[in-house]
Amino acid sequence: MDSLFEKAKKIRLVIFDVDGVLTTGALFYGANGTELKEFHVHDGQGMKTLQKLGIPIAIITSRQSDIVTHRMRELGINYVYQNQVDKLPAYEEIKQKLKLSDENIAYIGDDLPDLPLLTRAGLAITVANAPSVMQQYAHWTTHSKGGEGAAREVCDFIIQAQGLYSMMIESYLHRLPSANA
């Protein structure tokens, strides 16, 4: 666990896949072909908190979805790359834009298209319900499944490793109205 903490201390950017990581991976289509996705509110809160603490979030997904565009806009995520069958060019572009090295990047993926990024990222993470082959290439596998709090688990782990957890808690405690007010 110490080596994971050391890797997490160096993270300056967290990149998430979408389907199977921020969602359960199930695809829902309405009668007219409308696509639906389910996102977990705890994951969104973790992502917003990480950004508030100065660590940007990026999305690289092989699918194109207006729902993803909408959700990422809601979360204030500026680096959203969709329709990326080959995810490596987007990874390299973000890395160059932010002037980071691989060791400063955490990547969370769940399936074979994520392997090129998992093998480069300084902190490579997969989710509990990913195919078992993914664990061979990840530094860590979350306890939570994709779409069921795995992203929040990753965000909280990085926040803790960087010693920012108490600052995060304090920022919320100070928002509460005083008992004497």
Comparing 29 with 56, which gets the higher pLDDT? 56
* pLDDT at position 173: 83
Contacts of 164 (CB under 8 A, 6+ apart): 53
CA–CA distance, 101 with 84 (Å, rounded to integer): 21
Q: Is the distance from CB of 121 to CB of 105 less than 8 angstroms?
A: yes
Give the C-alpha separation, 34 to 174, whole Å. 42
Task: For each of the domains in the chain, give its residue range(s) and CATH number, in order of start.
Answer: 2-127+143-159 (3.40.50.1000)
pLDDT mean over 2-18: 95
Q: Does residue 1 have a pLDDT over 70?
A: no
Instruction: For residues 152 and 134, give the distance between their C-alpha atoms in angstroms, rounded to a whole number.
Output: 20
Q: How far apart are CA 44 and CA 6, in angstroms?
A: 25
Torsion of CA 134, 137, 140, 146, to 10 degrees: -30
- Average pLDDT, integer, range 63-83: 96
pLDDT of res. 172 = 78
How is residue 161 written in tokens?
A: 């490793």
pLDDT at 2 over 50: yes
Distance (Å, whole) CA 143 – CA 15: 19
The per-residue pLDDT for 170 is 83
CA distance 171 to 108: 27
Interval 74-127: pLDDT, tens: 999 999 999 999 999 999 999 999 999 999 999 999 999 999 999 999 999 999
The pLDDT mean for the chain works out to 93
What is the CB neighbour count within 10 angstroms for residue 179? Answer: 5
Confidence of residue 159 (pLDDT cuts 50, 70, 90): very high
